[in-house]
Structure 1
Amino acid sequence: MKERIILFTIIFGLGVFLYIFQSYFNTVWGLAFLCLCMTIYAIFTNLAYNLKKRKLRKYPQVINEDYKPFVTVMIPAHNEEDVIANTVENILQMDYENFEIIVIDDRSTDNTASVIKDLENRYPKVKTLIRQQGAFPGKSAVLNDAFKMAHGDAVLVFDADATVEPDFLSKLVPELEPKDVGAVQARKVIRNRNQNLLTRCQNNEYTMDTYFQAGRDSVKGAVELRGNGELIKREALEDIDGWNNYTIVDDLDMSTRLHIRGWDVRYCIDAVVYEEGITYLWPLFRQRRRWLEGTIRRYLEYSGAALTSKKMSLRAKLDMTAYISQFIMPLWFLMELTIRIFKVFAKDASPHMLFSSIIIGVVIGAGFFMAARYSLRRYDFMPRLDATFEALETSIYLFIIWFPLVFYIGFKILFMKKNMNWGKTAHGLVKEEEASIKAFIKKELEKTKNYTKEYTEKLKQKLAEKGEK
């Protein structure tokens, strides 16, 4: 109810402001100012990152070779019989020796439980936890249950389809050593980026996230965990009482609570975790819908605590405020445009009022394009022409996926019930789609068979008629 009241107040207040003040001055300049502030902040964080890199080249980071905390690797799995064995065996190849693996089967209806039990029997480092039907739903509850049997001084969380290089933990662990650091996030990369347009755009989206996260890390801002490839200190986990069972995005919720409690969250660009991109539009839409809903809900829930926290740094507060603006921007733009269109049709304003809104929309799109192109050039080392083309693709993809979702999620939070079921990411050809495709092929084959039979009968009939003649 608290989330609904806050969101309704924001939307209603913004709507009233825009409707009333459009008659007195061009409110689109307020949106333009917001976009300008976002651009300036992005440039500032990028400059900070460049300065940090230059400093590290001059004064390389001294790694404490004695800092080797025991790490518990947690891998939640729900109906992952096809990928979980490969993931576990890949993680076992890490050159960091001081770790254990807990694989959690969360109420699977396939053979995931038997697969991970077999892994436990074959590898001494692997332990398993089987959650039965009726257990509390959600990934957070899964991780909390596994944490009870964890022995590590730090916890590393992987998705069931994750793969890493052998030196992954060796690169990630040193970032966790400072006393004020509570967690570290690795860079995420789509393993099958070249499979189709969607996987390519997802990877480019992740590359843009790398750009923003690296910049936020450079200014010690409110860096966020991303679920896959996150390393968290036990002390920090215990300080915030573990994962929040009542959130639908465990990683983002934890990031915010860590910052509120004064813990720093770092981003390690050198440690890369690879995951499988979603190859179909509807599963991708469902995943992004869950991410966005969780993001907005946690801001609504924790914004007050973040602003009043005495432990959270001012830099982290300002950074979080800047990041929130990316959700206000599409809401403001579309409300602005809607109200102007309504006024034009009601003959309360002239059509030229729409021009400034259209121009600012183009500017917003250009901003996303430039950010995408810069990210691809910098972090994926893409040639100029390729980066330009893929940045254009990605900008269109972001517009199609994210803009409609902002409004849908706003409506859902206001009028619909929160779903606590674990929103499992579809890996590869999901069963529903596979069954649908098989049914379609079967149907088409039946049609072809019927057409062939009908044609054969007609042909026989014509031949018989010719024979009689």
Structure 2
Amino acid sequence: MTSNAATNDHRRVKSAGFLFACGCAGASPHWLDSARSLWPAISLALLLGGYALRTVLRGKLLRRSAAQSPIVSPTSLQPGDVPPLDVIVAARDEETVVTCLVERLIKLRYPADRLSIWVVDDGSLDRTPALLDSLADRHPRLNVIHRSRDAGGGKSGALNAALAQLKGDWLLVLDADAQLQGDLLEMVMPYALDSGWSAVQLRKAVVDADRNWLTRSQAMEMALDAVIQAGRLTGGGVAELRGNGQLIKRSVLEASGGFNEDTVTDDLDLSFRLLTNGALVGILWDPPVQEEAVAELSALWKQRQRWAEGGLQRFFDYWPTLTSAQLSPNQRWDLACFFLLQYGLPVVSFADLSTSVISRTPPTYWPLCIVAFSVSAVAYLKGCRGANQGPAIPSPGFWNLLVAIAYLGHWFVVIPWVTLRMAFLPKRLVWAKTSHGEKDPLQV
């Protein structure tokens, strides 16, 4: 097995190569005459913009209002066919939410003899260990695992500690602030089984969207993400796990090597390892998994740096397989376009703007940026309208839509900075958890 140091050096070299390639792509149009300087951006706008627009428009959103019947009827499963299921949560310093979390999990409707609940106390320094032990005394289905603070592996290490003890056929991985409706398992499990998925990601819904403009924008962003995921899957592309609310077949997870302890985003890494093992991930709009958004820019900055680093790591780590014949042509095309839009465009745009300032020439990649933000607006409109379960998604009115589109601009700062840091600064493996409020916004 490759050592962590070798893996980090490997990532650093690839980060530097990616940064150099994007820098050349962003600067080179400025060397052309003004009549041809926009050709690269216009060509990419047509190519990548067409891919993105098709992805957004063709996505099938399995919506279900509270008054409607389940998407897949739970009666399709006979009592003896209900698979054993483990619910797993990794918790570190979560005293403000852990009691509400356990009470919600205990109320999930599922055969009692087929459901086990696991919470891993990952070296908490607050009252989390004592609260969990007290809850375990009252709820026999709750299993608590205590890890030392320096056990290592971050969230992945905590999840692997539980994985070694699981007996169920499936596992549902949740964050400590996850909020679930009582019939969630009754709807999700038949969907996973009847559709033949090896894993299913639930749409993430923000419970505190009305707190401020930042949480409102994140609530709309989660809807946009689910729209894009559904569109990628419908077009024969790749859907990905999102950490909170991921249902995974245990045998497939173990065959893929469990959770990677050498990454800052276990969900994104696992998505690619499942893919390279031929396992398919589905996306389900309703019911959602509900969670809190970060309410301050400083917290968002830390969170998005981790997401960007983990996102780049997985492409650098698995790129040879992702471009091989092991994947279908549609999957390879989807991954290439997604990579260029999500990670390439922000770095190229930064290089373009920097060259523009230095050479005193106009920016050249604005056509591609306009197309990318315009398609994002279409995704917002599609995802934020219509009936949904869970918390209401903010209406995509003019002001909300304008703020949400501008909010996406933070990726054009985060990703270039993270790329620079990965290329030139020492690696720091940090599991930075989201701070949670002291009140439970969901009444169970």
1:321 to 336, 344, 357: 336
Work out whether 1:248 is the aligned partner of 2:292. no
The residue type paired with residue 374 of structure 1 is K
Q: Percent identity?
A: 30
Structure 2 residue corresponding to 1:111, chosen from 127, 149, 157: 127
1:409 corresponds in structure 2 to 418
Matches within 5 A, 1:309-388: 310=326, 312-326=327-341, 327-344=343-360, 351=361, 353-354=362-363, 356-358=364-366, 360-378=368-386, 386-388=396-398
Residue in 2 that maps onto 1:419: 428
The equivalent residue for 1:75 is 89
Q: Deviations over 1:349-368 (max 9, x none)?
A: xx4x44x5455544444343
Conservation of the 8 A alpha-carbon contact between 1:95 and 1:167: yes
Mean Cα displacement is larger for which, 90-99 or 291-300?
Answer: 90-99
For residues 329 and 273 of structure 1, the distance between their equivalents in structure 2, rounded to whole angstroms, comes to 30
Distance 1:20 1:179, change over 3 A: closer
Preserved contact between residue 279 and residue 428 of structure 1 (Cα < 8 Å): no
Q: Distance in 1 between matches of 2:286 and 2:406?
A: 29
Provide runs of 4+ in structure 1 moved above 6 Å: 379-385
- Asked if the contact 2:101/2:178 (under 8 Å) is kept, the reply is yes
Counterpart mapping for 1:268-347 below 5 A: 268-308=284-324, 310=326, 312-326=327-341, 327-344=343-360
Please state how far the C-alpha of 1:283 moved relative to its aligned partner. Answer: 1.2
Q: Return the alpha-carbon distance in structure 2 between the equivalents of residues 293 and 402 of structure 1.
A: 12
Partner of residue 30 from structure 1, selected from 26, 40, 44: 40
Amino acid of the residue matched to residue 161 of structure 1? D
Q: CA deviation at 1:293?
A: 0.9
- Residue 384 of structure 1: CA displacement? 11
* Structure 2: 5+ residue stretches without partners: 1-8, 64-70, 440-444
- Pick from 77, 99, 105 the counterpart of residue 65 of structure 1: 77
Gaps of 5+ in 1: 54-59, 345-350, 431-469
What amino acid maps onto 2:31 in structure 1? Answer: S
1:183 to 2:183 alignment: no
1:391: which partner in 2? 401
Name the residue aligned to 1:173.
Answer: 189
Distance 1:74 1:52 in 2: 25
User: Could you say which residue in structure 1 is the equivalent of 2:108?
Assistant: 94
Kindly provide the amino acid, as one letter, of the partner of residue 372 in structure 1: Y
Cα 1:281–1:46 shift into 2, 3 Å = closer
What letter matches 2:154 in structure 1? G
Report Cα offsets for 1:17-69 as digits up to 9, x if no partner.
5545543353433233323333322332344335999xxxxxx8676313421
2:413 alignment partner AA: P
Q: Where does residue 18 of structure 2 map in the other structure?
A: 10
**How big is each residue's C-alpha offset from its partner over 1:228-270, in whole Å with a ceiling of 9 and x where there is no partner?**
1100001111111100010100000000110011110000111
Three-state SS of the structure 1 residue aligned to 2:273 is helix
The one-letter amino acid paired with 2:405 is S
Deviation at 1:104, TM superposition (A): 0.7
Whose Rg is larger? Answer: 1
Q: Distance in 2 between matches of 1:339 and 1:163?
A: 47
| CA distance in 2 between partners of 1:394 and 1:147 (Å) | 38
Number of aligned residue pairs: 415
Secondary structure of 2:40 counterpart: helix
Provide the C-alpha distance between the structure 1 equivalents of 2:386 and 2:138, rounded to a whole number of angstroms. 42
Instruction: Please say if residues 346 and 413 of structure 2, whose CA atoms lie closer than 8 Å, have aligned partners that are also in contact.
Output: no
Q: Residue type matched to 1:216 in 2?
A: R
Q: 1:362-398: per-residue Cα shift (whole Å, max 9, x none)?
A: 4444343343233323576999985322111111111
Residue type at the aligned position of 1:208: L
Hey, what does 2:145 align to over in structure 1? Answer: 129
Residues in 2 aligned to 1:44 and 1:160: alpha-carbon distance in whole angstroms: 36
Output the CA distance in 2 between the equivalents of 1:278 and 1:31.
Answer: 34
Q: Relative to 1, partners in 2 of residues 1:270 and 1:21: Cα closer, same or farther, differing over 3 Å?
A: closer
Cα distance in structure 2, aligned partners of 1:196 and 1:383: 14
Q: 1:146 to 1:158 in 2, by over 3 A?
A: same
CA 1:309–1:428: 2 relative to 1, 3 Å = farther
The answer to which structure has the higher helix fraction is 1
One-letter amino acid of the counterpart of residue 45, structure 1? T
TM-score by structure 2 length? 0.86
Aligned-partner residue type, residue 407 of structure 1? P
Superposition deviation, residue 313 in structure 1: 3.1
Q: Deviations over 1:98-127 (max 9, x none)?
A: 211001100000010011111111111110
What is the one-letter code of the residue matched to 2:131?
A: V
Residue number in structure 2 paired with 1:450? none
Do the aligned partners of 1:279 and 1:429 also contact (CA within 8 Å) in 2? no
| In structure 1, C-alpha distance between the alignment counterparts of 2:335 and 2:43, rounded to whole Å | 18
Change over 3 Å in CA distance of 1:390–1:176 after alignment to 2: same
Which residue is equivalent to 1:154? 170
Deviation sequence 1:197-233 (CA, Å, 0-9, x none)? 1111110110111111121222342101011110000
Query: What one-letter code is carried by the residue in structure 2 that aligns with 1:28?
Result: L
Q: For 1:163, what is the secondary structure of its paired residue?
A: coil
Higher mean C-alpha deviation, range 412-421 or range 261-270: 412-421
What is the CA–CA distance in structure 2 between the aligned matches of 1:409 and 1:329, rounded to whole Å? 14
Distance 2:196 2:180 in 1: 26
- Indicate how the Cα distance of structure 1 residues 269 and 370 shifts in structure 2: closer, same or farther if over 3 A, else same: closer
**Contact persistence 1:210–1:269 (CA under 8 A):** yes
Deviation track 1:129-175 (CA, whole Å, cap 9, x = no partner) reads 00013211410010000111111111111100111111111111123
CA deviation vs aligned residue, 1:307-364 (integer Å, no higher than 9, x gap): 1252x333222221221122111222221232233222xxxxxx4x44x545554444
1:39 to 10, 32, 49: 49
